[in-house]
Amino acid sequence: MNFLAGEILYIDKPLGWTSFDAVKRLRGSLTRRLGLKKIKVGHAGTLDPLATGVMILCTGKATKRIDELQAGVKEYIATVALGATTPSFDLETEIDATYPTEHITRELVESVLRQFTGRIEQIPPAFSACKVDGKRAYDLARKGRDVQLKPKILVIDEIELLEFSPTSITIRVVCSKGTYIRALARDIGAALQSGGHLTALRRTRVGDVTIDRCLSVQDAAELIKNTEIEMPEENA
């Protein structure tokens, strides 16, 4: 493998790690293996710390392909708790309001999910990396600032109901780049008149890269440590 000329690694990001944590870990493995002070490593598509699954890492000159790779269609498996909301729309923040769920049926959920397929408008979460006046929205939100973000147009190709109860649903979502599944959980909860927030999220596909093709971070580090390395002549 020639990591300077450019390689692409498929990683199953662990729960609790930021996307940068995964980049930092494998960059460290590469610099030690190659005997270099630095090497370009980037990721194609951010995953929240509370999400797991497919993450594409690019090294060296392959980082030029990041925009191309992260434009691929994404697939997620998401669990949404109904009957309660949080400011971040997931488990990062505490529940701030509760609502009844006795009226929720499988038929109602399936009807509501159909409303979210096709081209839709979505307002990104305040707890997101979107920029407001040059600052990250999540930095402002965590300081208690009121963050107003503009809606974005995106495409949801499929939503499939996998598991149902009046207080929790698990869905499979196939969607375009830029979709916030946390915001989708918020909007589904609002449409059900019950509130909702994300409690688990796993990205199972990016483009044609599926979760079964991904390495754990540890296995990727072992691959870097043990694989045969090619070096350009000037670095040999």
Which residues have a catalytic role annotated? 48
Residues 82 and 133: their CA atoms lie apart, in Å, by: 33
* Separation between Cα atoms, residue 99 and residue 81, nearest integer Å: 11
Collect contacts of 68-72 with beta carbons under 8 A, ≥24 apart: 69/8, 69/44, 69/45, 69/206, 69/207, 70/44, 70/45, 70/177, 70/206, 71/177, 71/207, 72/177, 72/206, 72/207, 72/208, 72/209
Cα end-to-end span (Å), the chain: 14
Bridge pairing between strands 118-122 and 152-165 = antiparallel
DSSP per residue, 158-172: EEEEEEEETTEEEEE
Q: How many CB atoms lie within 10 A of CB 225?
A: 12
Q: How far apart are CA 26 and CA 70, in angstroms?
A: 19
**CA separation, residue 20 to residues 55, 79, 93, 135 (Å):** 11, 24, 21, 18
What does the alpha-carbon distance between residue 10 and residue 213 come to, in Å, rounded to a whole number? 7
